[in-house]
Amino acid sequence: MAAIPYRRLFGPGPCNAYPEALMALQQPLLGHLDPAFIAMTDRVCDGLRMVWQTQNRYTLAMSGTGMSGMEAAFANVVTPGDVVVVGVNGFFAERQVDLAQRMGAEVIRVDFPWGQPIDPEAVATAHPNPTVIAAVHAETSTGVRSDIAALGALKGEALLLVDAVTSLGGIEVAVDAWGVDIAYSGTQKCLGTPPGLAPFTMSERAYQRRNPRPHSFYLDISLMGAYVGATQGPARAYHHTASSVMYAALDATLARLATEGLENVWARHQAAGDRFQAGLQDMGLELFAADGYRLPELTTIKVPEGVDSARVRAFLLSEYDIEIGAGVKDLASTVWRVGLMGANATTASVTLLLGALQDALQRA
Amino acid sequence: MAAIPYRRLFGPGPCNAYPEALMALQQPLLGHLDPAFIAMTDRVCDGLRMVWQTQNRYTLAMSGTGMSGMEAAFANVVTPGDVVVVGVNGFFAERQVDLAQRMGAEVIRVDFPWGQPIDPEAVATAHPNPTVIAAVHAETSTGVRSDIAALGALKGEALLLVDAVTSLGGIEVAVDAWGVDIAYSGTQKCLGTPPGLAPFTMSERAYQRRNPRPHSFYLDISLMGAYVGATQGPARAYHHTASSVMYAALDATLARLATEGLENVWARHQAAGDRFQAGLQDMGLELFAADGYRLPELTTIKVPEGVDSARVRAFLLSEYDIEIGAGVKDLASTVWRVGLMGANATTASVTLLLGALQDALQRA
């Protein structure tokens, strides 16, 4: 049996989890209909309302990773033949296109260069009457933030569907104030919790216009809603065997974030990202994401001319136990992706990363 | 904050996990493309081949609970218009009907009384040329075992799709020998691991006849196969952020089962179940499942005349921290479901349960 490595997870996610979340994994298992577990799901749904900044009744965690959240979003609001407009500026927006097509939608894509944000006006006016407008808040493939509030102001009758996988718990996400109708995230990025649940929220407006019988049973919002008590009716209808281990971890994280204060959490991510990005530029490295739209929690760096991207990553892994990410698709060997998320959004992480990168550029 | 209860999980699942699985939850997180994680997924897939008793290349864990496994099974082999025959003798076979319908199948159901096994011949001859024949090996709602080997011998050209949620790791499941084409399970029953992964296996024959573009991206077997290395092609294509926490737990369980020996594990479940069922009858209680088809790992008991089912369950929970299950649907108040699964399939569990039940019948 090989030695178990302790990885410093500075890739695009997962990140190292908050200690509270790790400790909570040891909480004894609970059945999925145990009164103590029901109380836990209530706390988790309330905590998620806090981080999503929403009053939405249908705010819960899907029992899968962030990708299951994306699938749940499209499965529950798209019916075959619906028009779905997608602002495409990266890999995860491409996935939104794929998901919408699998649900039978007529997809209208509005493309932007990778590394740039979407233009809300161009997306909002791409079709006179779309059922859904979809976009990615924080593109994990490029490190770019798009203006979801502006898109919300222009959405008209459409439902606004947003990927917040790399933003929730790291930068502001204001579901109600921005007019977001459906949003999903994962636990393993800025929320600093092991992967396995997908925070999800849906406005009343979206719920009323949902697909009443989606292909997916597992992610059907009306069944999940009945399970967590969002839907009126007989209490806690069995739907699936939710993992009390995962809920306990998320419960502990949400309590920690409430104590730290959400705005302080965002400020911590911003400070770490600013410091890191300034340090990289001081080292003479160039950033990939457009200036003014850079995510603090996920930095994209251009691999310098003549440097072997994979070799640097392998050096960091073997010498430092540090994971950073390669670029995605066309950017695979020309961009690195470095995350400072959750428990890793600290000054210590920044200093270690800058030093390790400097070392790698000299020695790898 | 309320005190954290330590529950003895003798319901229909989850059960208390094996200590190896619980300890493994503390293993430091790994990225989903880390070499150490890839080695772990390889071990898990190999271990699952051992418990499924199969050589299937497409043997892996879906990143969701057992229900996601059921959804993956139907999503990957059913195309709209396909004929799906389902042998229905309980709640989870009803779910198979629901799933097949959601995928657009023409469903032919062959019904049997709850508490009885399916008749393989009646199911196999219900349609001259079905695409899929589906059945539940161990019905969690009734405690009944059906003869899957017999159904496999009669399946003809159809694909045989089997729910093994409550059988895998507790009683024999022989995928290759029985001619099963697609099967799914959960980790939290006889495998004695916290919920969160769905063991899944698919024959080459089923893979060749799969739906090439299922509605579900999350559960798409060709994408999942590329991720775990079952599909030829570029190594380990990113699909989703699998949870190293959950994999570590399952990895540890599978290593334990290999050490104990699969036949010894089955014998332990059989011995506990036999002893428990004999003890119940000695107490004058009646069993619900048909004699000769009773699962050792899940016992269904008729609630005696004049006894309040819910009151007994509440007493066990408050006085003993013991969870047992109510019946399902029409059996809600007339049947109890008691599981002796995984780490709980022991003589100590049986003696505690019999004593606690006796106490509850006198004092609740």
End-to-end CA distance of chain A: 28
Closest CA to A105 of A136, A73, A57: A73
- Is residue B269 located within the same domain as residue B256? no
- Is residue B242 located within the same domain as residue B104? yes
**B186-202 mean pLDDT:** 98
A62 pLDDT above the threshold of 60: yes
The CATH number of whichever domain residue B64 belongs to comes to 3.40.640.10
For residue B7, give how far its alpha carbon lies from the nearest alpha carbon of chain A (Å): 7
- Is residue A252 located within the same domain as residue A295? no
- Is residue B227 located within the same domain as residue B267? no
- Is residue A256 located within the same domain as residue A266? no
> Ramachandran region of residue A175, left (φ > 0), alpha (ψ -120 to 50) or beta?
alpha
The answer to the question of residue B3 being in a domain is: no
The answer to the question of residue A122 being in a domain is: yes
CB spacing of A63 vs B64 below 8 angstroms:
yes
CB spacing of B2 vs A39 below 8 angstroms:
yes
B11 to chain A: closest CA residue: A31
The answer to the question of residue A242 being in a domain is: yes
Check: pTM over 0.80? Answer yes or no. yes
The partner residue sitting opposite B196, judged by closest CB among A16, A71, A245, is A245
Distance CA B145, CA B294 (A): 6
The answer to the question of residue A3 being in a domain is: no
Total number of domains in chain A: 2
Predicted pLDDT of residue A11: 98
A25 to chain B: closest CA residue: B25
For residue B359, give how far its alpha carbon lies from the nearest alpha carbon of chain A (Å): 21
For residue B200, give how far its alpha carbon lies from the nearest alpha carbon of chain A (Å): 16
Cis? peptide before A19, omega within 30° of 0: no
Distance CA B322, CA B357 (A): 10
The answer to the question of residue A290 being in a domain is: yes
Given A260, A293, A324, the domain boundary residue is A260
A7 to chain B: closest CA residue: B30
Given A209, A241, A260, the domain boundary residue is A260
CB spacing of B241 vs A323 below 8 angstroms:
no
- Is residue B333 located within the same domain as residue B353? yes
- pLDDT tens digits along B7-41: 999 999 999 999 999 999 999 999 999 999 999 99
- Is residue A139 located within the same domain as residue A247? yes
Question: In this predicted structure, which of A122-131, A186-195, B220-229, B251-260 has the lowest mean pLDDT?
Answer: B220-229
Contacts of A318 in chain B (CB under 8 A): none
Tokens of B58: 């497409």
The answer to the question of residue A2 being in a domain is: no
The answer to the question of residue B25 being in a domain is: yes
How high is the ipTM of this complex? 0.96
The CATH number of whichever domain residue B351 belongs to comes to 3.90.1150.10
CB spacing of B218 vs A98 below 8 angstroms:
no
- pLDDT tens digits along B75-113: 999 999 999 999 999 999 999 999 999 999 999 999 999
Expressed as residue numbers, the domain containing A207 is: 19-260
The partner residue sitting opposite A196, judged by closest CB among B13, B217, B243, is B243
Pairing of β A298-302 and β A198-202: unpaired
Alpha-carbon torsion (B185, B190, B192, B195), positive or negative: positive
- Is residue A293 located within the same domain as residue A198? no
- Is residue A58 located within the same domain as residue A207? yes
CB spacing of A215 vs B29 below 8 angstroms:
no
- Is residue A252 located within the same domain as residue A178? yes
Contacts of A213 in chain B (CB under 8 A): 102
Distance CA A134, CA A76 (A): 14
The answer to the question of residue B355 being in a domain is: yes
- pLDDT tens digits along A124-168: 999 999 999 999 999 999 999 999 999 999 999 999 999 999 999
- pLDDT tens digits along B284-329: 999 999 999 999 999 999 999 999 999 999 999 999 999 999 999 9
- Is residue B195 located within the same domain as residue B335? no
* Cβ pair B120, B156 in contact under 8 A: no
- Is residue A210 located within the same domain as residue A292? no
CB spacing of A65 vs B14 below 8 angstroms:
no
Mutate to test the interface with A, among B8, B42, B193, B216 (most CBs of A within 10 A): B216
| Mean of all residue pLDDT scores within chain A | 97
DSSP-derived secondary structure for A297-344: SEEEEEPPTT--HHHHHHHHHHHH-EE-EEP-GGGTTTEEEEE--GGG
CB spacing of B240 vs A32 below 8 angstroms:
no
Cα dihedral B175, B176, B180, B182 in deg (nearest 10): 70
Distance CA A292, CA B344 (A): 57
Given B241, B260, B279, the domain boundary residue is B260
Cβ pairs A/B, distance under 8 A: 178
